[in-house]
Structure formats: C-alpha cells, structure tokens
A = this chain, B = another copy of it.
C-alpha cells in the first residue's frame, strides 16, 4: 500500500485513497452511502471542489454511483472484467531478454477482394498491400503476421520495403491515434502457419486479429498475428486501485 514516490500526496489524492481503501477492503460494502459532499468537506477541512473532484473520479471509474438528492453509493462490482494491454511484438520479445528480428516473407499489391471489402467496410475495391512477416525471438519463430494495408489511406506504404521497421511499427509512426478492434481466439494451425512457426499442423495457436481505423473510421490496416499457443500468454491485470493515479 505504500508509495515509492517521495513527494507528499495532494489532498484530493489522500481523500481518494482513503475512500478507495474503505471500498476495496469491504468496510464499505456495495450499496453503502458515501458521506455527502458537505460532510466530507468538514471531515477533511477542505472546499467542495476538492471532494467533488474525488467523487467525480470514483464515479468515472464506476466504483461509486451518484444520485442527485439521494447521495453517492458504493457500486455493485461489475462482473469479472480485465484491462488487458496487448504490447507490440518488439516489446514482447524484448521482455523475454532475447534478441528480436523479423523478416518480410511476402509483399504484393492488389485489389481488395469482396470478402475483404465487407470485413473492412470498403465501399469499393481499394488497392491494398498484402504483407506476410515472421517475427523471431532469437532463432525461434515467435509470431506469424498476415497484414493488409489500405493503400488509399496510406499510399506511401507501396514504396516501403519494411526492411528497417516492421509494418506495425512503421504504420504507427505514420498514422497515429487510430481506433482498433481486437478479436482473440484459439485455433488449430493451418499448414502455412504451422510450417513457419515450426509446429505441427493443427497444434493450438493464439490468434489475435486487429482492424485499425482512423478517426474518420476508414480502415487503415487489418492484421492477424498467430502465436504458438504454448509459448505465448497474454497477461491482464484488473486493479481498481489504479483509479485516478496520474498516468506515468
């Protein structure tokens, strides 16, 4: 529970910590009425803005529910949810303490198929760049990447060799601040994936598919990342304690 940072906590941080502690330890059960703002003002000898800031943050984090005229109440915890961060591949490999490398296996320019048009929401058969890559952790195949890039959205990609920078990282530099939808599932490796990952055909692989869109909701890229199932693990931590902590 102690904080390694030397600086004293601000007043609203202290109030936030106090209330969170009471909720997380179960001292204040779901449904418990939080003292009204005026009581908290007296208790902490502070202004209303300060307690309001705290309660607003807790409400955003869904730990409390606020109702006019009635007051604020500890929420019923929403079901077992997780906040999962999927890091980029280079970061994942680096975390293993193994040298990272990648190779481009295939690169071709073509028109989007009908299926792709539907999946990515293209109005017409836009030109796309199809790329296949293999990412390696040391000598070992780490991930097989199949990617489609919308060349209408990112025409520079057509001339890029992707020798220096893998397509994912390259795109992130050029088209920042996209929205993404992920789909994660387990499948049996088909022939090509199995061969490239050095595993048996039909062996379990973890498949992550991501469609990335710009703020205007144009599909920028679709990528399928295929990981050998027994070597890869997504880890997610759900901790309500993070609420309102400054992002660093």
Contacts and interface: CB of A to CB of B under 8 A. Distances in A.
Contacts of A62: 247
Interface of A: 21, 23-26, 29-30, 49, 59-63, 76-77, 79-88, 91, 168-169, 172, 175-188, 202-207, 210, 212, 214-216, 227, 229-230, 232-241, 244, 246-247
Nearest to A228: B186
B186 A82 contact: no
A230 B187 contact: yes
Contact of A84 (B83, B175, B177): B83
Nearest to A207: B186
A22 to B, nearest CB: 10
Copies in the complex: 2
Contact of A240 (B177, B206, B238): B177
Contacts of A23: 177
A247 B78 CA distance: 12
Contact of A186 (B205, B235, B237): B205
A182 B79 contact: no
Looking at A81, A91, A204, A234, the one whose CB has the most chain B CB atoms below 10 A away is A204
B186 A236 contact: no
